[in-house]
Amino acid sequence: MSVLAEIIAGVREDLEQRRAVVGDADIVSAAADAPPARDAFRALGGATAPADRDSRLRVISEVKRKSPSKGALADIPEPAELARQYAAGGAAVISVLTERRRFGGSLEDFDAVRAAVDVPLLRKDFTVEPYQIHEARAHGADLVLLIVAALEDTELVQLLELTRSLGMEALVEAHTEEEVDRAVAAGARIIGVNVRNLKTLEVDRSTFSRLADRIPSHAVIVAESGVRGIDDVVSFAERGADAILVGEALVKDQDPTAAVAAFSEAGSAAKPPRRN
> Measured between alpha carbons, how far is residue 262 from residues 60, 75, 129, 229 in Å?
13, 23, 37, 10
Check 62, 99, 135, 169 and give the catalytic one: 62
* 178 carries an active-site annotation: no
* 276 carries an active-site annotation: no
Check 66, 224, 235, 271 and give the catalytic one: 224
* 70 carries an active-site annotation: no
What's 106's DSSP letter? -
Check 67, 124, 179, 264 and give the catalytic one: 124
Check 61, 95, 225, 235 and give the catalytic one: 225
Are the CB atoms for 83 and 117 separated by under 8 Å? yes
Report strand pairing: 169-174 vs 143-147.
parallel
Of the candidates 267, 254, 263, which has an alpha carbon nearest to the alpha carbon of residue 82? 254
Taking phi first (over 0 means left), then psi (-120 to 50 degrees means alpha), and beta for anything else, what does residue 116 get? alpha
Q: How far is Cα 168 from Cα 161, in angstroms, rounded to an integer?
A: 10
Check 194, 197, 235, 264 and give the catalytic one: 194
Check 99, 169, 173, 179 and give the catalytic one: 173
> Measured between alpha carbons, how far is residue 192 from residues 129, 144, 147 in Å?
20, 12, 9
Enumerate residues 6+ apart whose C-beta is below 8 A from 5.
Answer: none
* 67 carries an active-site annotation: no
Residues marked active site are found at: 62, 64, 124, 173, 194, 224-225
